[in-house]
Structure 1
Amino acid sequence: MTGEVAVLGAGMHPWGKWGRGFVAYGTVAARAALADAGVDWRDVGSVVGADTVRGGYPGYVAGATFAKALGWQGARVASVYAACASGAQAIATARAQLLAGLADVVLVVGADAAPKGFFRPAGGDRPDDPDWLRFRVLGATNPAYFALYARRRMAVHGDTLEDFAQVKVKNAALGALNPHARYRKAVSADEVAASTVVADPLRLLDICATSDGAAALVLSTMDFARRHGVADPVRIRAVSTVTPTYPNTVLDLPDIATDSAAAVPPGERTFRASIAHAAYEEAGIGPDDLSLAEVYDLSTALELQWYEDLGLCGEGEGAKLLRDGTTSLGGRIPVNTSGGLASFGEAVPAQAIAQVCELTWQLRGEAGGRQVAGARVGLTANQGLFGHGSSVIAVR
């Protein structure tokens, strides 16, 4: 397809708490991606960095920061910020440059050195930002926000604490097989239930941590890939970075308190559902075509919501999909084969890129014990603060 670009290389710095700066992590991931692609740094025509506002001035100019760290060689640079969707925005920017003929090879890098505890809003007071309002007016930190979603699912769809725990059990088992994951230990449902309550009904093991880490991709035009000797590369077919169509003031709040079918105006979709729909539409595929998905499991309950928003099942059927083993390795549509944020934690600018790294390894058949048999089509999905959508579809 004319809108496709090739994924020649994928690389990561393991997630954890390493006590170094984001530039060090990003440089390791970038060099790993270049080595994986077999591309010399001097052949990179552009560097797109996903910004980290916690990294000081260098974090706001991540593209140039990574280009300098790798050694100035004249590449054009771009830097993008979209909170948790920053990586997808960086991929979209790189793809646009490739399709416009501005470069043959683009390096995409995201990295973070996250503080301990809750993420604080950056940039001062933002009374026009619905997420700032949530933090400051409602006092709803992210765990409290996730707990509202969980309570809604319990009230409207009958989900249980055991259902939420099984999401963690599934993802932890896969993360134990991933050398890049921070938490590489299987956990039981009993361990989830015994962990500290953070925001009822969610326990500590229901909620993802904050982490250091990095991910990088080497993208190219299809012509360059063929000249480079890669006849059948993994290809990015769609990138969705849509914003909500409703409501105009506070993101998703109707969905928290009421049945979403009643909250959504006729002909509209929830924000998360619209993110995936835009990707499906661009790629010319649907949910039934997927081999696997990587979704943004900030909490266990939120992963179940993504099943429905991606169209993997009907509304209210997410827990049943999990119970049936459909989203487990070996099921019809494995979800979060990387181990998800349950196993990695948040390294915000890197995570949407890391999701595409996992798709790349899966579609190449290089995922080891996490491998999805015969994987041909993968989708990523997350969302960032201030209405940033994020979904990438990769095929082979």
Structure 2
Amino acid sequence: MSGDVAVLGAGMHPWGKWGHPFTAYGVKAAREALADAGLQWRDVGSVVGAATVRGGYPGYVAGATFARALGWQGARVTSVYAACASGAQAIGTARAQILAGLADVVLVVGADSAPKGFFRPAGGERPEDPDWLRFRLLGATNPAYFGLYARRRMALHGDTPEDFAHVKVKNARAGALNPYARYRKEVSAEEVAASAVVADPLRLLDICATSDGGAALVLAGMDFARRHAPTSPLVRLRAVSTVTPSYPNTVLDLPDIATDSAAGVPAGERSFRASIAHSAYEEAGLGPGDMSLAEVYDLSTALELQWYEDLGLAAPGEGAQLLRTRATSLGGRIPVNTSGGLASFGEAVPAQAIAQVCELTRQLRGQAGERQVPQAGAGIAANQGLFGHGSAVVAVR
């Protein structure tokens, strides 16, 4: 049996700082996705909500929260929490329900109303969680972690602050063309360099903001989709990867450091992010060379360069060189973050992996306007969540 499911509808609430409850953003996105699919709310057999612990009890039970806001009609509900990977985990859950024959049509929704400033650990005490420990014992906020990662790339691969700045320039140019983006203004490398230092070498414009926003997808089995839209080219989800790490720790991959399986990733094995992508490619029966575009989790400009390598778009250490050739820009060989990425949106945590698939859907349908990748045939979206949550989705036309 084919593992494909169809994307019949994609909808979003624009990102920003709107000051409303997260439910309002999710309902707006859901209604837009249903309209895009040409379906009514009563046609939905299941709702999978990507949870947000910052939303209190309604956030923990996001599936039921959205179902009630749309109007009780008997649909199944599921709530999924996986931090930044929540949206992809929700997509994976919806896909499994469809393939299991539990529902013909599933609505996937994620939304967030984010606090001002950088994120703090949410959800209570978690002394077994390395990310919680990073915050509490080291005082290493996300920007501090991003800065250390940037320094690591500079030391290992020769990346420069100018390379990081050009990631922002590239993504801001795409975001300026996206009506859902929070920041719709192009920036120059000089403006990035002039912004305040947050975590050396990264500056304010190298790091994504926190945002409010929502995204939704209407997914369906292939038989239902063909009956519902017999003449339309269908976007299909070919793979959803939610793998966990294979090894407990990682170490610097300097050539003169011996690595063993007890201390880190053995030589020749894949890092966590690379394994997320590989699992998706393997399930889809495709590879990096088959992709027309990619949406990646650019929490910082330096992390986007790392994703190029983890997705197999560039060899290890050559992410910055791929950027310098403009291959990842609009009009390039393999455009990355045609939506504008988190650089243009900011983080609305449960929604962002869903929003990535919304962008893939519009690109594969040829509906991305001035951001359109010509003849897009396949794309991959990737990010990761706290505590070893993986997230990658491959979509094809």
TM-score (norm 2): 0.97
Amino acid at match of 2:284: A
- CA deviation after TM superposition for structure 1 residue 230, in Å: 3.8
Q: Is the Cα–Cα contact under 8 Å of residues 338 and 370 in structure 1 kept in the other structure?
A: yes
TM-aligned CA deviation for residue 123 of structure 1? 2.2
Identity of aligned residues (%): 81
Give the aligned length: 392
Determine the C-alpha separation between the residues in 2 that align with 1:303 and 1:260.
Answer: 25
**Displacement, 1:256?**
8.5
CA apart distance, 1:317: 0.3
Q: CA RMSD in A?
A: 1.4
Is 2:397 the partner of 1:369?
A: no
**Secondary structure, aligned partner of 1:95:** helix
Which residue does 2:86 correspond to in 1? Answer: 86
* Residue identity matched to 1:35: A
1:21 aligns with 2:24: no
Partner of 2:240: 239
Q: What is the CA–CA distance in structure 1 between the aligned matches of 2:196 and 2:6, rounded to whole Å?
A: 44
Which residue matches 1:57?
Answer: 57
Query: Aligned partner of 1:145: which letter?
Result: Y
Tell me what 2:316 maps to. Answer: 315
Aligned to 1:182: 182
What amino acid is aligned across from residue 382 of structure 1 in structure 2? N
Q: 1:149, 1:256 within 8 Å by CA — same for their partners in 2?
A: no
Distance 2:187 2:309 in 1: 25
The residue aligned with 2:96 is 96
Q: Aligned equivalents of 1:365 and 1:121: distance in 2? A: 39
Rounded to whole Å, the distance in 2 between the matches of 1:281 and 1:333 is 20
Change (3 A) 1:222 1:258: same
Whether the 8 Å contact between 2:297 and 2:342 is mirrored in structure 1 is yes
CA distance in 2, matches of 1:257, 1:211: 36
CA shift in 2, pair 1:90/1:261, >3 Å: farther
Whether the 8 Å CA contact 1:104–1:220 is kept in 2: the answer is yes
Amino acid at match of 2:314: C
Contact 1:152 1:256 in 2 (8 A): no
Q: Which residue of 2 aligns with 1:45?
A: 45
Unaligned runs of 5+ in 2: none
Name the amino acid aligned to 1:302: L
Residue 336 of structure 2 corresponds to 335
Q: 1:223 to 1:344 in 2, by over 3 A?
A: same
Task: Report the Cα distance in structure 2 between the residues aligned to 1:257 and 1:25, rounded to whole angstroms.
Answer: 45
Alignment of 1:187-336 (within 5 A): 187-231=187-231, 232-247=233-248, 250=249, 252=250, 254-255=251-252, 264-336=265-337
Return the TM-score normalized by structure 1: 0.97
Residue 108 (structure 1) aligned with residue 101 (structure 2): no
Task: Return 5+ residue gaps in structure 1 as ranges.
Answer: none
Q: Secondary structure of the residue that 2:120 maps to in structure 1? A: coil
**Structure-1 residue corresponding to 2:130:** 130
SS in 2 for 1:198: strand
Cα distance change on mapping 1:230 and 1:296 into 2, 3 Å: farther
Cα separation, partners in 2 of 1:330 and 1:354, compared to 1, 3 Å: same
Distance between the aligned counterparts of 1:319 and 1:239, measured in 2? 27
Contact kept, 8 Å, 1:272 with 1:389, in 2: the verdict is: yes
1:126 Cα offset (Å): 1.0
Opposite residue 32 of structure 2, the aligned amino acid is A
**Whole-angstrom distance in 2 between the partners of 1:123 and 1:359:** 31
1:173 corresponding residue in structure 2: 173
By how many angstroms is 1:255 displaced? 4.0
Q: Distance in 2 between matches of 1:331 and 1:306?
A: 17
- Give secondary structure in 1 for the equivalent of 2:387: coil
Specify the code of the residue in structure 2 equivalent to 1:368: G
Contact 1:48 1:94 (8 Å CA) reproduced: yes
User: What amino acid does structure 1 have at the position aligned with 2:234?
Assistant: P
Does the Cα contact within 8 Å between 1:152 and 1:258 map onto a contact in 2? no
1:168 maps to a residue whose letter is K
